[in-house]
Structure 1
Amino acid sequence: MKKYLVGGAVRDQLLGIADENTENDWLIVGSSPEEMLDLGYRQVGKEFPVFLHPGTQEEYALARIERKVGKGYTGFEFDTSKGVTLEQDLSRRDLTINAIAKCNGELFDPFNGQEDLNNGLLQHVSDAFSEDPVRVLRVARFAAQFKKFGFKVAHKTHKLMKEMVTSGEVDALTPERIFKELEKSLLSTTPSAFFKVLLACGAYDRIFSALEKHNNQSHQNPFEFLDDLKTSNPRIKFAIWLKDEKSIAITELCKSIKCPKKYQELAKLTNTYYKFTEKFSTQTADEIFDFFKKTDALRRKERFVALLETFELLGIDVSNMIKCRDLLDTIDASQFNKIDIATAIQTEKRRIISSLLDNL
């Protein structure tokens, strides 16, 4: 048996961006499930054997050949027999830049991945790319992650992705995989490339069908407002992405991709109130009272802080909102008559808001 470091770890080393957080992807050639178990590895996959190292707990996968037998990324049969070669395994990977292996310092690059790394090209290894719809999302995500290096999608790969959309292969994507790749893309500094690539191949309107349709004939990137935002919080970028969509569309989207509730909440609050807060100081006391009530600012403090950060990234002055929130947070409920304490607190909140507006 022979052990190789493959995939993203090798790619990132060659790009000079690998660090202690980079996950190692190990490949074993010339072994079997029985031999791995005898060596003390613990199997964690059933249909496709993946093993945990007895010491490091890192994942080791047996070299495999795949055969497409059904729709989606689960529709495969695997052959992990000892005779599967390194090149056979690498030939089934998505992109040439992810099909480079390393063993004892020596690189194995049968599909010229290093050349594509040097040329900034996201290019599929073989036509087997079209058998797995997740690869459409992965190419878009890599476009976002590596935009700073000038990476582009190869013409032939773009054509193949369009064919996967037309054939309906991307319709087999699961909500969990869509959200996972979306979130990873939002963690990048240039997430606009993720959406632009999906738009260009026609996948955007299929995957995010609840949202407003975009013209994919234009070479312009309508999502550039998401780039270089001074936040690393993907939930905030998610909310900014959806700020101009209809509220019902946000609800439908979040349901369709099964995103966490906190994503939907922040997106809907941003969508509802960012125009309102642009003119915060000219709103009436009743309107501002209603804003703080419906955002639950004093009880859901972490969420309200994220909401304020979102507004600020949209160019809105949040200083008066912060001032008002802090004043409302000083109310001492113990000073009021307990017979109708709720009304008394509301009256005091309105008084504080009116006083603040008078002094602006």
Structure 2
Amino acid sequence: MQTFLVGGAVRDALLGISHAQSDHDFVVVGATVEAMLAQGFKQVGRDFPVFLHPHTQEEHALARTERKSGKGYTGFTVHASPEITLEQDLERRDFTINAIAQDADGHYIDPFHGRADIEARVLRHVSAAFAEDPLRVLRAARFMARFAPLGFRIAPETVALMREMSARGELEHLVPERVWQEMQRALASAAPDAFIRALRESNALRVVLPEVDALYGVPQRAEYHPEVDTGLHTELVLQQAAQIAPGDDRIGFAALVHDLGKAVTPKDELPKHIMHEQRGVPLVNAVCERLRVPLRHRQLALSVCKEHLNVHRIFELKDSTVLELLERNDAFRDPERIDALAATCEADKRGRAGLQSTPYPSADELRRLFAVAAAVRASDVAPGLSGPAVGAALRKARIQAIHQARAA
């Protein structure tokens, strides 16, 4: 019975990434379920034998092999036994950089040359078995979102295999929860735009996010968007969102879907996109329904979709219109949404070729005017009033407060 550290902890240590950011997973070779239980491990795996260490609570899995037995990422028969070797276990893993083991003495077991691929900054599949699990296409894209800033690229042969999987319709068997899980992690990564590019390069974006895929090739007015292509603009906005709000997948999702309406602009209106905010609303809702996106992500995404042009021109809005914008977006019950709306709109404005460092005073102005309006309380401005009169007095006072703040 031998225990090896495997997967992300080994990979990240070789990349110089802190162990605190990595899961510590172990594979146990030469053991049985009974032997693990006898040593005090607690079994938690349903589909295959996974155990929690009695003291550290770290996961230990018996060495296993997998055989394709159905469609999708769940269609596998798992075999775990003392006869399974470490190399057989590593061979079933997705990428060579994840197929490295380390023994108790610190020696590496690297039968698929993962360390060489780490040095070369290449994401490469371990074997042809990669094609049996469609979730691995999304995992490849998600790893690019994390590792592209380190110089990683996907090996050409892996891209080719991902395209074959897309063409065979394998991705259509993915359940929404798993798609969203991978997407959410990618949107919280350092380079969420690399996630979208990797999916598009493998022809998977049109399956996973057809609404985003449809943005590519749609022109915008060059005087406002030097990058012209709406898909490229979306990538640039994702880049800016990751810099403005690092690790915030909610802002990342809103950035991803803010311009979906531009894909359905009538061709005779191009490159203008009149009413693209309103046209985008049903598309944002469709993505959220299909992927079962959490409510707060949907709320912010819809706010950004509908309001980003209003926020851009906040200095031109009337005082009453500013208050209406705040009220429409539930600012006084959900103040955090206004801050996130401001951040995402900043990412939109700066997500343009050559304009990434452009100042965006509208974000701070939205936050400032909201703070002024929120400071007005009904108890201060509507003493002795009741019913609708309270709301009317409060609105009037808040509009006045916004006016005074702008005049100062």
TM tier, shorter chain?
over 0.9
Q: 1:258 aligns with which of 292, 296, 306?
A: 292
- What CA deviation, in whole Å up to 9, does each residue of 1:273-294 have, x standing for no partner? 1111111121233422320110
Q: SS state of the match for residue 19, structure 2? A: coil
Preserved CA contact (<8 Å) 1:250 1:268? yes
Counterparts of 1:285 and 1:225, CA distance in 2: 29
Which residue does the alignment assign to 1:16? Answer: 16
- 1:48-59 to structure 2, matched below 5 A, reads 48-59=48-59
For this pair of structures, how many residues does the alignment match?
357
TM superposition shift of 1:33: 0.9
Q: SS state of the match for residue 61, structure 2? A: strand
TM superposition shift of 1:347: 2.6
TM superposition shift of 1:119: 1.0
> Residues 356, 268 of structure 1: CA spacing in aligned structure 2 closer, same or farther, 3 A cutoff?
same
Instruction: Give the TM-score of the pair, scaled to structure 2.
Output: 0.83
Preserved CA contact (<8 Å) 1:63 1:80? yes
Counterparts of 2:209 and 2:295, CA distance in 1: 18
Which residue does the alignment assign to 1:6? Answer: 6
> Residues 225, 314 of structure 1: CA spacing in aligned structure 2 closer, same or farther, 3 A cutoff?
closer
Counterparts of 2:405 and 2:106, CA distance in 1: 67
Q: Is 1:230 the counterpart of 2:244 in the alignment?
A: yes
Which residue does the alignment assign to 1:338? Answer: 386
Amino acid at match of 2:243: L
Q: Which aligned segments of 4 or more residues in structure 1 are displaced greater than 3 angstroms?
A: 312-316, 350-357
Counterparts of 1:183 and 1:133, CA distance in 2: 17
Segments of structure 2 that go 5 or more residues without pairing to the other structure are 218-228, 261-279, 350-359
Amino acid at match of 2:253: F
TM superposition shift of 1:226: 1.7
TM superposition shift of 1:356: 4.7
TM superposition shift of 1:214: 4.5
TM superposition shift of 1:53: 0.6
- What CA deviation, in whole Å up to 9, does each residue of 1:29-76 have, x standing for no partner? 001111111111111112211001111111100000111101111111
Counterparts of 1:44 and 1:318, CA distance in 2: 47
- What CA deviation, in whole Å up to 9, does each residue of 1:299-348 have, x standing for no partner? 21122222222233344423332332222223232242225212222232
Counterparts of 1:143 and 1:67, CA distance in 2: 27
Which residue does the alignment assign to 1:173? Answer: 174
Counterparts of 2:313 and 2:405, CA distance in 1: 15
Higher mean displacement: 135-144 or 331-340: 331-340
Counterparts of 2:199 and 2:237, CA distance in 1: 17
Preserved CA contact (<8 Å) 1:199 1:214? no
- 1:224-303 to structure 2, matched below 5 A, reads 224-227=236-239, 229-232=243-246, 233-245=248-260, 246-303=280-337
Q: SS state of the match for residue 57, structure 1? A: coil
Counterparts of 1:286 and 1:331, CA distance in 2: 15
Counterparts of 2:210 and 2:149, CA distance in 1: 29
Q: Is 1:304 the counterpart of 2:316 in the alignment?
A: no
The alignment's C-alpha RMSD in Å is: 1.9
- 1:34-49 to structure 2, matched below 5 A, reads 34-49=34-49
TM superposition shift of 1:145: 1.0
Preserved CA contact (<8 Å) 1:211 1:250? no
Q: SS state of the match for residue 318, structure 1? A: helix
Counterparts of 2:321 and 2:11, CA distance in 1: 54
Preserved CA contact (<8 Å) 1:196 1:221? no
Counterparts of 1:281 and 1:291, CA distance in 2: 13
Q: SS state of the match for residue 71, structure 1? A: coil
Counterparts of 1:149 and 1:205, CA distance in 2: 27
> Residues 156, 291 of structure 1: CA spacing in aligned structure 2 closer, same or farther, 3 A cutoff?
same
Which residue does the alignment assign to 2:115? Answer: 114
- What CA deviation, in whole Å up to 9, does each residue of 1:228-283 have, x standing for no partner? 52222121121112111111111111111112111111111011111111111212
Instruction: Give the TM-score of the pair, scaled to structure 1.
Output: 0.94
